[in-house]
Amino acid sequence: MKKFLKKLVPTFIFKFYYYLLALVGAIIYGFPSRKMIVIGVTGTKGKTSVINFVWACLSAGGFKTGIISTANIKIGNEESLNKYHMTMPGRFVIQKLMADMVKAGCQYCVVEVTSEGIKQYRNVGINFDTAVFTNLTPEHLPSHGGSFEKYKETKGQLFKNLSKKSKTINGNKIPRTIIVNNDSDHVDYFRQFTADKHISFGIKQAADFQATGVVESLSGVEFSMSGQKYKLATLGSFNVYNALPAMIIAKSAGISDEAIRNGLAGLSIIPGRMEQINEGQDFLAIVDYAHEKQSMTNVLNTAEIIRKPGGKTIVLLGAEGGGRDKSKRALMGEIAGKLADYVFVTNVDPYDDDPKQIIEDIAVVAEQNGKVRGKNLFTEQDRRESIKQALALAQVGDVVLITGKGAEQSMIIGSKTIAWDDRTVVREELKKLLA
């Protein structure tokens, strides 16, 4: 019905409807974002991890913090998984969540901001004080007319809206702050916007907050910054990029290095982000949200480092339908074909697209990059069956990466929405395997 209406009703009518809903939601719940310091995090990858690191550092410093991310929602120490199958929930939901945060005494609110959310005005009625840019690679381009520039400009709306008016809370003026990844090719675009403070972070390029000496292992990641050493309990050196904005925000709040160190080291699980599933098996099973070229490259490179000598990398992947980028299917097939020893291609969220076609778009390119069907390349629409097969293939010291959905709580096939959690399914299949 929604698709049918969109064909009949002019676009500007839908836009006005979305804008009005967002504004009404903010009015009904009393503009809760005006009563907290609100941080928006945008970019293609890492947003959920950044937000969880911010929560960990601010909490360690004694600040009650709420977060709204793709994976999880927290109000102080109370956590629930994001059940909405969207990063930015509908306008009334997001305003209610923020109102609940105010009621619970949260001083900070951290929100994951997407280009899709901005397009549908879900950011309207949210007064952001800080905007964080993580990185930018092609994603969701079909909904932006196939234009990477329009995709970038849509994300830029978060930063543009900071320049309107500073917020005052309890008599204190909250500085409008822009935090950017200096290692990104697109950093200049995002730091051009007006703000009271512009702060950069990075690893490769000189930055206000630059990490050095990055070392990753099975126990986590160690790095240094400004002469201080820090450790992440989460896997993957790429997570240093996700931790740095949190450190900036914490230091701006006056939190000590020791508290920041404790916050980072104490965050051992980010739901569905390099999350280890352990049922006593003699290989590593990891669930991760990786669903495009760069994130797939990151997790596969990490697997190569943490697997035991002689161990293999087994990856399960897929791609979304429903108007999502088709071009990324081939890119992921190429990376999986080159970097993994075994590749399993299966459903993620095909929506109304042909699941067989999505799988083939990935598998064919994996073949072109050295994989052979029935030997080290396997295709299967049933995601549970594919997970079962991938786990059954694993030997001592191997790493099995279950990618594409992370901690999402549902899967959409055609018109059906199925309750689903990769982590639960992996646990169940591991128990059967070990039995």
Q: Under CATH, domain 275-434 is a member of which superfamily?
A: Mur ligase, C-terminal domain (3.90.190.20)
Mean pLDDT of 6-15: 66
pLDDT greater at residue 19 or residue 67: 67
Domain ranges in the chain are 2-266, 275-434
Dihedral of CA atoms 4, 8, 9, 11 in degrees, nearest 10, equals: 90
Mean pLDDT, the chain, rounded, equals 93
| 327: pLDDT strictly greater than 80 | yes
pLDDT number for residue 148: 84
pTM of the model: 0.94
Q: Residue 12 above 70 pLDDT?
A: no
Write phi, then psi, for 4 (nearest 5 degrees).
-65, -45
Architecture of domain 2-266: 3-Layer(aba) Sandwich (3.40)
Say yes or no: do domains 2-266 and 275-434 share a fold. Answer: no
Question: How does residue 165 score in pLDDT terms, banded at 50, 70 and 90?
Answer: confident
Residue 302 has pLDDT above 90, yes or no: yes
Going by pLDDT thresholds of 50, 70 and 90, the confidence category of residue 377 is very high
What percentage of residues in the chain have a pLDDT greater than 70?
95
Given pLDDT bands bounded at 50, 70 and 90, which one contains residue 146? low
